[in-house]
Amino acid sequence: MCERELMDRPRGKNPHRSHVLAALIAFLIPIGVTSSVSAATPLSGAVPTGHDPRGQRRDPASHVRNKLEVASDPSGPVSATEPAQRLASSAPPTATASPEAPAVVGWGQNLSGQLGGGFFNNYVTWPVLGPAFTGVKGLTVGYHFSLALLEDGTVHGWGSNSFGQLGDGLRAESLTPMEVVGLTGVTAVAASGMHTVALLGDGTVATWGANIFGQLGNGTTGAGSEYLRYSSTVPVYLKSLSGVVAVAAGGANDAALLRDGTVMAWGENSAGQIGDGTTTEKDVPTKVHGLSNVKAIAIGGFASHGGHLLALLNDGTVMAVGTNRSGQLGDGTTENRSVPVPVKGLSGVVAVSASQSHSMALLSDGTIRAWGNNASGELGVGAGPEACSTALTRWACSRVPARVEALGNVTSVSAGWRFSLAVSAGRLFSWGSNEFGRLGNGTILSSSLPVAAGPSSVMSVAAGEEHSVALLSRGAPAPEVEMSSGVGSLTISWRSSYLSEQWDLARRPVTDPRSKWCERVALPAATRSYTLSGLTSGQPYEVIVRNALFGYRIMIGTPG
């Protein structure tokens, strides 16, 4: 065993994971029946698994430990400020990346394997290599699951699947990508909460997953003891919709942009987010009042209640409807709206993004505007005034768009729950809450201003509630790694031309390959050598060298 082992996170203890599921208990559990919602993590060193159709975890490919490999980082680099329990994780997975080819990476919460590396653990604070796909066209994330749209028109998902949100015909969590059953010709896909919506090349729409609030749009809905009966593990096709050019998903809502510039929406409607002037749930697509000349849409909302819709018009202005408790509609008030209202002071907008309680707009000049909740610094404008309140509490927010002064030349934005992401000159920037490593910068320190995070060569990002994924324009060739031994020490040296990413190094005894990785250290990007000292002479050790761009390499050495 390691001389200085890293502590496990207590099994079943994750008070943060239940914020969505707890809110759904009233809908999911019949009266008189109690349920315990917990998030178990594996014992340290446990081999990663998935679920089979009987509810057992599905095993990914086995890992060969005595070979030099290129694979996904099982836990990300370590900051000296991080708690020790964060460092315990499952055994290394087997996902690989092709040098110089586009690569998928993920970070944040990983209790369901939603990062796609073939392993599960508490959370990861630095982007780790995800599934190795050929021809990724787009990425999207829901609550603890992720999806990739490939250039061949198929969709593949991984992570949580309790409502069938992966679309593979099962309700079994998967640590490796599963292809959505019978779905081809897809041109766009959007996920949120526990459901997914896809746009097909013929302008029609398919949905799958949870249907507690009619978010599948197929005329059915079911809660309480009926929630599984009305959910769908395979795509259902919405015959009432045609001529669709874009889709968006919120926590319990969906929307479709039609070719004529109008918008249809369906699902939960307690805050009027459907935009038809009512607060009545809609289980079929319903026309949003007063919208025309729309060219893009976005939805934000929780899986249990509320939400808001943003509509970007052809003239570069934005309309908003729905929940407005934190000013996320940007109309200068905190009143919910059941019909769209203009967002104040916006023009020249080219893209919009919405989370549960804040909104973002990317302008044609490469700058960002953000509005809504700022309690966690998610607007990127520093600690703002407590402009929002109820009878019991006050919190920071902005009721109108505010400029994110620290960033320019931005090409992509994505709003997550209590945090935000942006890409500028191929580099990832993040701000807001860093619980679960949401910011992807190798720490759990939150920031109310943008911080550089993750690898370079980022093409697009998708922010979720507690995790995110990104598509890189290229992977990287694995480094050449060498090891030399000294008295009670091992020196590891590596050669690589990539200097922009942080390195991570750890070791463990070969005699106990299921033990924890020990003495992890985060190393500056320019580091090319490190010596592990205080080792037992004659005892063989595994040493792992990792980097977000290429994954990791493992070597075995014996101190003299």
Asked if pLDDT for residue 433 goes beyond 80, the answer is yes
Q: What is the pLDDT of residue 328?
A: 98
Higher pLDDT, 81 or 358: 358
Q: Looking at the predicted structure, is the pLDDT value of residue 42 above 70?
A: no
Instruction: Give a yes or no: residue 277 inside a domain.
Output: yes
Q: Is the residue at 396 inside a domain?
A: yes
**Percentage above 70 pLDDT, the chain:** 78
What is residue 512's predicted lDDT score, i.e. its pLDDT? Answer: 65
pLDDT band at residue 206 using 50, 70 and 90 as cut-offs: very high
Residues 380 and 307 in one domain: yes
Within this chain, do residues 202 and 263 fall inside the same structural domain, yes or no? no
Taking Cα atoms as reference points, which of 127, 69, 138, 133 lies closest to residue 102? Answer: 133
**354, 376, 406 - which closes a domain:** 406
Residue ending a domain, among 376, 406, 436, is 406
- Structure letter (DSSP) for residue 138: E
Does residue 229 share a domain with residue 301? no
Residue 428 placed within a domain: no
Q: Per-residue pLDDT averaged across 505-518, rounded? A: 74
> What tens digit of pLDDT does each residue of 393-429 get?
999 999 999 999 999 999 999 999 999 999 999 999 9
**163 Cβ contact list (under 8 Å, min separation 6):** 171, 194, 195, 209, 210, 227, 228, 231
- For position 531, what pLDDT does the model report? 93
Average pLDDT over residues 370-384: 95
pLDDT of residue 141: 98
Residues 264, 391: one domain?
Answer: yes
For the chain, the distance separating the N- and C-terminal CA atoms, rounded to the nearest angstrom, is 19
Shared domain for 238 and 295, answered yes or no, is no
Widest CA span of the chain, in angstroms? 77
Contact 359, 328 (CB under 8 A): yes
Is the pLDDT at 100 greater than 70, yes or no? no
The three-point CA angle 189-194-199 to 5° equals: 20
Mean pLDDT of 98-125: 83
Same domain membership, residue 377 and residue 304: yes
**Structural domain includes residue 516:** no
User: What per-residue confidence (pLDDT) applies to 178?
Assistant: 97
Is 8 a residue whose pLDDT tops 70?
Answer: no
Residue 515: the pLDDT is 65
Per-residue confidence (pLDDT) for residue 198, from 0 to 100? 99
Report, as an integer, the average pLDDT of 129-142: 92
Top-confidence residue, 223 or 396: 396
Q: What is the pLDDT of residue 40?
A: 24
Same structural domain for residues 332 and 307? yes
Domain count of the fold of the chain? 2
Question: Please, are residues 422 and 406 in contact by the beta-carbon 8 Å criterion?
Answer: no
Tell whether 349 and 217 lie within a shared domain.
Answer: no
| For residue 88, pLDDT beyond 60 | no
* Residue 384 domain-assigned (yes or no): yes
Q: What is the pLDDT of residue 161?
A: 97
pLDDT tier, 203 (very low <50, low <70, confident <90, very high otherwise): very high
- pLDDT of residue 477 exceeding 50: yes
CB-based contact 267:254 (threshold 8 Å):
yes
* Within a domain: 329: yes
Backbone angles phi, psi at 318, to 5 degrees: -130, 140
Domain enclosing residue 399, as ranges:
250-364+368-406
Closest CA to 106 of 165, 45, 147: 147
* Residue 330 resides in a domain: yes
- The owner of tokens 């050790």 is 541
Pair (258, 395) in one structural domain: yes
Same domain, 149 and 277: no
Query: Do the domain assignments include residue 320?
Result: yes
- Of the candidates 223, 242, 261, which is a domain's last residue? 242
CATH code, domain with 187: 2.130.10.30
Q: What percent of the chain has pLDDT over 90?
A: 60
pLDDT of residue 478: 60
Least confident of 115-124, 280-289, 335-344: 115-124
Digit-coded pLDDT (tens) for 254-269:
999 999 999 999 999 9
pLDDT at 33 over 90: no
Q: pLDDT tens digit string along 301-330?
A: 988 788 999 999 999 999 999 999 999 999
Angle, vertex CA 110, rays to CA 104 and CA 113, nearest 5: 70
> Tokens 């694995």 sit at which residue?
478
Looking at residue 514, its pLDDT comes to 59
Are residue 401 and residue 259 in the same domain, yes or no?
Answer: yes
| Shared-domain flag, residues 356 and 379 | yes
Interval 177-200: pLDDT, tens: 999 999 999 999 999 999 999 999
Identify which of 299, 37, 311 has the alpha carbon closest to the alpha carbon of residue 192.
299
